């Protein structure tokens, strides 16, 4: 989405979401030079923010305590394994696998987060450990089918080119030679 469209939406809705803010930041960071229209849109947004016509929504009004508990457990276990073997494990994959099998524990205040942490340690620690261990076992048993694979890029053109290349490799006869699918 362009800066102009983001600003139009923010002015229409009356708020700037964290995702909109991040997209404007990404565009500004990656562009070698902004256009006059983009500068004008940013100026309109700044004015609307200063007058209160547009309000910035807070980035995060809550936390999932389970995420920090699972990450702590996963990091500890992966560190133990990696010191005794030559196998490298992906903490993110392990945490995601475990989190998908555990209940979320959201809190909006530090007091609530402390309550959720204590509750989890008393009632769910065994389950957290079990899910992290399952994730590690699954990760260790998963062969590297395509070690040369790369994650998809962030920009639209790159993703389209990568998906197209992937399809050409995986299904070479899928598209007709003249590029006409129908």
- Count: domains in the chain: 2
Task: Output the pLDDT for position 70.
Answer: 94
Chain segment 58-74, per-residue pLDDT in tens: 776 788 999 999 999 99
Give the bridge partners for 55, in sequence order.
Answer: 15
The reply to whether 71 falls in a domain is yes
The answer for residues whose C-beta is within 8 angstroms of residue 158's C-beta and 6 or more apart is 152
Q: Compute, in degrees rounded to 10, the torsion defined by CA atoms 15, 17, 20, 23.
A: 150
Chain segment 3-51, per-residue pLDDT in tens: 999 999 999 988 888 888 888 988 888 888 889 999 999 999 999 999 9
The reply to whether 88 falls in a domain is yes
Expressed as residue numbers, the domain containing 26 is: 3-56
Q: Are residues 104 and 129 in the same domain?
A: yes
Q: Quickly tell me which residue has 């989405």 as its tokens.
A: 1
The reply to whether 98 falls in a domain is yes
Determine the average pLDDT of the residues in 120-144.
90
Across the chain, mean pLDDT equals: 84
The reply to whether 49 falls in a domain is yes
Q: Does position 179 have pLDDT exceeding 90, yes or no?
A: no
Q: Are residues 50 and 87 in the same domain?
A: no
Task: Output the pLDDT for position 182.
Answer: 47
Q: Are residues 7 and 46 in the same domain?
A: yes
**Is this model's pTM higher than 0.85 or not?**
no
């Amino acid at each position: 989405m362009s800066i102009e469209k983001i600003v139009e939406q923010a002015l229409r809705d009356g708020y700037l979401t964290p995702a909109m803010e991040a997209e404007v930041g990404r565009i500004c960071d990656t562009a070698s030079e902004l256009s006059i229209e983009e500068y004008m849109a940013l100026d309109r947004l700044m004015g609307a923010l200063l007058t209160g016509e547009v309000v910035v929504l807070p980035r995060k009004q809550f936390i999932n305590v389970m995420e920090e508990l699972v990450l702590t457990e996963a990091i500890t276990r992966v560190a133990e394994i990696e010191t005794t073997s030559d196998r490298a494990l992906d903490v993110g994959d392990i945490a995601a696998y475990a989190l998908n099998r555990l209940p979320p524990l959201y809190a909006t205040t530090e007091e609530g987060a402390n309550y959720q942490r204590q509750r989890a340690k008393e009632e769910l620690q065994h389950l957290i450990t079990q899910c992290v261990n399952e994730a590690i076992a699954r990760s260790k048993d998963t062969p590297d089918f395509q070690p040369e694979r790369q994650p998809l890029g962030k920009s639209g053109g790159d993703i389209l080119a990568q998906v197209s290349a992937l399809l050409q490799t995986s299904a070479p006869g899928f598209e007709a030679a003249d590029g006409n699918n129908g």
